[in-house]
Amino acid sequence: EPSTQSLPPREFTSPPAEHALRGDLVCELDDVAPRPRHPDAFRPWTHEPYCIHPVEKTLLGFCTFTNADFMGGRGLSLVTLPDLAQAIMERTTMAISSSPRPAIKAGETIFLDYPALLISRDSVEVFEPEERIRMNWMALLQLPDAGRGEVRDMASDGKYKDELDNLVAMNSLGVQYAGFRQYGTFPEAAKMNHDCIPNTYYRFNDTTLAVEVFAIRDVKPGEELTYSYVDGLQEIPYKDRHRLLGSQFHFECNCSICGDTASRRESNRRRDNIKNAKAALNEVSDDAAQVVALCKKLLRLYGEEGMILPRPLTAEIAAYAANQMGDAKEALRYAKIARDYWSIIAGPHSSEVTRLEELIRAPKDHGSYKPKAGEAAEESMGAGGGSGQEMMEDEDEEAVLDAVRAAMLKAKKVAKESGVGEKEQEKLVEQAVQAALKRAMSKDEL
């Protein structure tokens, strides 16, 4: 018996006699299975599968399976064994885009795309316009029909005289090849609209030439995928964004923070606060406590505005500043936030993640750590006592002095780095020396 488990709830049926008998079958519209009234009736297929089994019911049957939504409505039909069709479809559920796309987790790759055109940005400066435009057109016309067709289907309105210049400006991603900036025209990515608060970002692999579009936050099923056509729109208020997108791309942005006046106003207010907090952060770079407070505020504002990209660096700065204040717990908390966002944006194996992991593993051993004033004394006591104890083992008076001297030197260094005043430093060193001496002496008495 063929496995019917993966089949839609319908029994294998013999083909209608007239089909089986027709030699030179001419397909008529009647042969097309109608789309069922309920869209999920034959899920994942959009049409009732049409199955035949040769000769006997006991033999494996073949069916025609169709998913008309595959690849954004291009459709896919399979004529194959039911189990195989099911397996193929399970693997490619991501490509069915008109049935609600499944939810995507932050950091997840959504698709890979390869460029149809890769045009050096330097060509604009190096060549006369006519020469450059001629080269670009040749690049396009020498593509095979399929690639050329995909490029020619792209939007090409804009401010330039040459249609292809407009097309490239409108549809390209900025990528770098061996350090040289390029306009990369990627047919799939070019289908994505702009959003001033996008839900995806991309990275370019200059070995494979693939651009990887990935989610920077969780994306709900069916939610539109967007990226920002312009980098660094972070603090820019509506009016300036409107002017920029209008002059560069010739469209009026209707994204969530541009669409209506109330949203524009709300977003402008938040962006104003972000701008001010960033300016204040530049002013207070020597004051670790202020740095932490401002980063905390910025992270809150980025959260309210739904901005993801600036978060990891802000959290990372907060982590170092907290550690500098001797607050290893807070440093750890921010370091984890920074690590998690870097993992989404730069990738889980990026140098950014490795850098943060170092701090997370042992905040107090990290170069940024400076113990608090009180802890400075304690630490030096520990160090002095420890080395003193070792020395006491051979009951050598010189060793007691060495231990105390070592404790004093360590305490001086720690007190100086803690940033407290000179008087306070002296007091700390004195305390540490006394503690080390006491420890060494008590050991001696034993």
Ligand X SMILES: C[S@@+](CC[C@H](N)C(=O)[O-])C[C@H]1O[C@@H](n2cnc3c(N)ncnc32)[C@H](O)[C@@H]1O
Where on the chain is the footprint of ligand X (CB under 6 A)? 155, 170-171, 190-191, 193-195, 251, 253-255
* Beta partners for residue 64, in sequence order: 50, 79
User: Among residues 245 and 440, whose Cβ is nearest to ligand X?
Assistant: 245
Per DSSP bridges, beta strands 226-227 and 193-194 are parallel
CA distances 178 to 120, 162, 205, 352, Å, are 11, 28, 11, 21
Closest separation in Å from C-beta 221 to ligand X? 21
Which C-beta is closer to ligand X: that of 248 or that of 290? Answer: 248
H-type helices in 78-228, by residue range? 82-91, 123-126, 129-141, 145-152, 163-171
Q: Give the CB-side neighbour count of residue 22, counting CA atoms within 13 A.
A: 11
By residue count, the chain amounts to: 446
Q: Which residue reads 């504002």 in tokens?
A: 301
| Residue 224 CA neighbour count, 13 Å, CB half | 11
| Residue closest to ligand X (Cβ) | 193
Q: Which is nearest to 233 in space by CA: 308, 298, 312?
A: 308
- For ligand X, the closer CB: 51 or 255: 255
Dihedral, CA of residue 81, residue 82, residue 87 and residue 90, to nearest 10: 140
**In this complex, which beta carbon is closest to ligand X, that of residue 211 or of residue 321?**
211
Instruction: Provide, rounded to whole angstroms, the least separation between the CB of residue 119 and ligand X.
Output: 16
User: Which residue, 143 or 197, is less far from ligand X as judged by CB?
Assistant: 197
- Minimum Å distance from CB 135 to ligand X? 22
Q: How many CB atoms lie within 10 A of CB 302?
A: 20
Burial 60-83 (b: 16+ CB within 10 A, else e): ebbbbbbbebbeeeeebebeebbe
State in angstroms the smallest separation of the CB of 358 from ligand X: 40
**Minimum gap (Å) between residue 329 Cβ and ligand X:** 42
Distance in Å, CB of 55 to ligand X, minimum: 50
Helix (H) or strand (E) holding 356: helix 351-361
How do strand 117-120 and strand 180-185 relate by DSSP bridges? antiparallel
Coil, strand or helix at 139:
helix
Shorter beta-carbon distance to ligand X: residue 263 or 368: 263
The least distance separating ligand X from the CB of residue 115, rounded to whole angstroms, comes to 14
Least distance in Å: CB of 16 to ligand X?
42
Q: Give the contacts of 137 (CB within 8 A, at least 6 positions apart).
A: 164
Q: Which is nearer to ligand X, 246 or 374 (CB)?
A: 246
Nearer to ligand X, 39 or 259 (CB): 259
Q: Specify the pairing of strand 180-185 against strand 193-194.
A: unpaired
Beta carbon nearer to ligand X, 216 or 408: 216
Distances (CA, A) of 16 to 22, 31, 53, 376: 10, 10, 12, 90
Supply the minimum distance, in Å, between the C-beta of residue 258 and ligand X. Answer: 7
- Considering beta carbons, is residue 255 or 301 the nearer one to ligand X? 255
Least spacing, CB of residue 201 vs ligand X, in Å: 16
